[in-house]
Every structure is written in C-alpha cells, then in structure tokens.
C-alpha cells in the first residue's frame, strides 16, 4: 500500500497547486486582458472627451493660446451654429457622406470577390498579389491631378479617389482572411464529397465572413480621410471644401467644427457597423 500513497501524494499536491492561483486571485480592472463592464467602458470613453474639452477650454479661454491659432470650445460651437443656420452646412455634410459611401461601396464590390478568389486559389493570388501590393503603397492623393484630367472636377473624380484609396487595402486583407481558413475544415469537407466550388461557398466564405465584415468596418474609417483630401482640391461642396474656405478666412472655429463633425459621423458609422456585425455574426468571437 505504500507505493500507492507515494504516487497519490504528488497528484494531490499538483492539483492543489493548480487550484491555488484561482483561489488567491483578486479582481483587478487593470490586469492584462481583464474585461470591463459595458457601463464602465462608456463612462471611461465619455470621461476622456470631457477631460479633453476641459483642457482645451483651459488653454483657449485662459488666454494661453491665441484665437487665431486655436478657437475656444465656445467659439467653435457658435461658428458651427452659423454654419448650419446661414451657410447650409447640412448640404455639405450630405455630399461628403454620399461620396464616402459611394466610393466605398464601389471598392467593396470589386475588392471582396477578388480577395476571396486570391485567398482561395493560389494561382490567382500569385498573379494579382504583386500588383495589388504595389498599388497599396501609392497614396490616393497622388492620383488627384490625373483624375481631374480624366474625370474632371465632378463627383466621379472624388468617388475614384476613395475607390483607389480603399480597394487595394480591402483586397489584400480579405485574401489574408480567406487564406487563413482552417485546413481541417477543408479536409473534412473534401472527405464528405464537396467540390472545389463547394469548398469556397460552404467553408471558406462562411468562415471568413465575420473577418471580412470587420475589414470593411476598418477600411470605411480610412475612406473618410480620402474624401477630405479629394474635397480639398477642386470642390464646390463638402466638409473638406468648407474647411478650405475657413482656412482662407483664418476661421479656426469653423475648421475645428468641421473636423469634429467628421469624427462624430465616423464614430456613429463605426458603432452601427459593429452592431450590425454582432447581429449578423452573433456566433463569431469578433
């Protein structure tokens, strides 16, 4: 009976050591990867904005910064009210939103199928990947002079700037997501008699769909930077056009208000995109 007790003792000791950290652990909000409640997340997020405005007001209203270089929050709100009531700023906002979603939709329609094909079929990836990687590093703003020559100063030029700035990013990111599919699922589908087309339709695309949706959410944020660049040159409407006019008048209040409006619209779009992704892909961990 002695050998049995000798073996059982280390087993019990190992089990006790494994359970010891769990018993000794104390809740700590600043522990690595420790989640916070939804209420705490909102309070912390809002708290930063409040702190930012207070610091901004301290330096501007306290006279530490010249109004020529940085308007105060009060001045910014007043100038924003004038933009809506006297200068029809709602029309500029509508034009900018239309351009962002128009160019982004064009890029998504082209990039998602191409990215899926590149991720699923390695010959297609080998054919397109060098060119897509090359174009991905080209700044969209560098194409504006050419696009003005080719498409003029109308809406087509601005949509194409957003398209060029978004399409190559989406293609590569989608290809990486699709190409990273689990091999065991693919082999299991082959074992069950699935064809190559069935693998793509029933394994690769469903498995990559949450990641593709998250990619589109991220690139939509980049599209907002491209539209402002497009509107800064040769535009008669839009938030970027308003910012350019305000710069000529040294009206930093209107400039800051336009920037804040872009951030607010982008934040709302991001939250709606997240909500939609969670509803559509409730089974996903994203």
The domain locations on the chain are 76-279
- Residue 39 is predicted with a pLDDT of 84
Tell which wins on pLDDT, 285 or 128. 128
Of 142, 187, 146, 148, nearest to 165 by C-alpha is 142
C-beta separation of 162 from 100 below 8 A: yes
Nearest 5 degrees, angle CA 260-CA 263-CA 268? 130
Q: Which residues contact 256 (CB under 8 A, 6 or more apart)?
A: 70, 71, 76
Q: Which of 24-28, 176-180, 262-266 has the lowest mean pLDDT?
A: 24-28
Q: Which of 17-26, 58-67, 135-144, 224-233 has the lowest mean pLDDT?
A: 17-26
Separation in Å, CA 132 to CA 107, 113, 169, 215 = 13, 14, 8, 17
Tokens 């962002």: give the residue. 100
SS3 string, 173-229, reads HHHHHHHCCCHHHHHHHHHCCCCHHHHHHHHHHHHHHHHHHHHHHHHHHHHHHHHHH
The model carries a pTM of 0.79
Query: Which stretch, 29-38, 60-69, 169-178, has highest mean pLDDT?
Result: 169-178
Give the percent of the chain with pLDDT over 90: 37
In the structure encoding, which two tokens stand for residue 189, read together? Answer: 């589908």
Rounded mean pLDDT of the chain?
84
CATH superfamily of the domain spanning 76-279: MetI-like (1.10.3720.10)
């Amino acid at each position: 009976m002695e050998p049995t007790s000798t073996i059982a003792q280390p087993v019990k000791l190992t089990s006790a050591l494994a359970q010891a950290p769990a018993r000794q652990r104390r809740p700590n909000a600043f522990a690595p990867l420790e989640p916070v409640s939804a209420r705490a997340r909102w309070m912390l997020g809002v708290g930063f904005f409040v702190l930012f405005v207070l610091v901004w007001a301290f330096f501007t209203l306290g006279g530490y910064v010249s109004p020529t270089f940085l308007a105060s929050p009060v001045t910014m709100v007043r100038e924003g009210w004038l933009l809506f009531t006297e200068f029809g700023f709602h029309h500029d906002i509508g034009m900018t939103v239309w351009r962002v979603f128009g160019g982004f939709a064009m890029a998504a329609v082209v990039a998602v199928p191409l990215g899926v094909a590149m991720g699923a079929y390695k010959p297609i990836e080998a054919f397109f990947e060098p060119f897509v990687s090359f174009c991905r590093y080209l700044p969209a703003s560098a194409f504006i002079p050419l696009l003005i020559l080719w498409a003029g100063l109308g809406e087509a030029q601005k949509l194409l700037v957003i398209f060029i700035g978004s399409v190559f990013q989406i293609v590569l990111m989608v290809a990486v997501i699709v190409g990273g599919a689990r091999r065991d699922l693919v082999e299991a589908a082959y074992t069950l008699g699935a064809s190559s087309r069935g693998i793509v339709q029933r394994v690769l695309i469903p498995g990559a769909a949450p990641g593709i949706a998250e990619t589109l959410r991220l690139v939509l944020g980049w599209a907002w930077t491209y539209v402002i660049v497009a509107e800064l040159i040769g535009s008669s409407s839009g938030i970027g056009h308003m910012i350019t006019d305000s710069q000529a008048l040294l009206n930093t209040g209107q400039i800051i208000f336009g920037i804040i409006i872009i951030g607010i619209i982008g934040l709302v779009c991001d939250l709606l995109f997240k909500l939609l992704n969670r509803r559509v892909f409730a089974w996903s961990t994203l």
